Amino acid sequence: MACEHLNVPGVGQPFKNLYANVSIVPANCRVAYISSTYASDEEGNLIKGMEGDYYRQSKKVWEDITAILKHLGATVHNIAQREVFFL
């Protein structure tokens, strides 16, 4: 069963629907915590040519997160919380 994401009328709405006001994780579900992810190769090195290119770095991060979720039998629709930091 997927997470339920709700936007509540009468409160501030999420910017460009990038998140939801409330996410509910059903009882008896597996919960996975994905650690910090950055645009790296399999050895942990920043991929050459991506220095300062936040678009390409973000795209690579989401490709990696999607691959991790697929390995777990999940999709981005199962994400209950995400935090994004740019350095």
Alpha-carbon torsion 62, 68, 72, 73, what sign? positive
Residue 83 lies in a domain: no
Residue 10 lies in a domain: yes
Residue 85 lies in a domain: no
**What domain range includes position 67?**
4-78
Residue 70 lies in a domain: yes
Between 87 and 58, whose confidence is greater?
A: 58
Domain count, the chain: 1
- Which neighbouring-strand residues pair with 40? 46
The confidence score (pLDDT) of residue 15 equals: 83
Which pLDDT tens digit goes with each residue over 46-81?
Answer: 889 888 898 999 899 899 999 999 999 988 888 877
Predicted structure pTM score:
0.69
Query: ∠ CA 81-78-46 to the nearest 5 degrees?
Result: 65
Residue 84 lies in a domain: no
